[in-house]
Amino acid sequence: MEKQIMDFNVFIEQDEDGIYVAKVPEIEGCYTQGKNLEEVIERIKEAIEVCLEADKEEINPMRFVGIQKVRVERPQLV
């Protein structure tokens, strides 16, 4: 069986407890977490494989353009 090589954009953030959270925006519901970067990268690869196997529809990875931090003002809650 021939395998197709696919590249996905993975967003990695760190939560308030120091845990790394990785998400794949092209695949709905594809995310994982780990205690360090090495662990979260290994786990997101496994998660992508599981998601691709479970989701039989065609997935076309998007071309990465960039990340921009945007600041907005929010009214204070009373």
Residue 9 exposure: Cα atoms within 13 Å on the Cβ side: 12
Domains contained in the chain, number: 1
CB-based burial, 35-47: b 16+ in 10 Å, e otherwise: eeeeebeebbeeb
pLDDT tens for each residue of 37-53: 999 999 999 999 999 98
The pLDDT, as a whole number, for residue 66 is 87
pLDDT greater than 90 at residue 33: yes
Q: For residue 26, what is the domain's CATH number? A: 3.30.160.250
The pLDDT, as a whole number, for residue 59 is 80
Look up tokens 């695949």; give the residue.
27
Sorting pLDDT into bands at 50, 70 and 90, what band is 1? low
Which range of residues forms the domain containing residue 74?
1-78
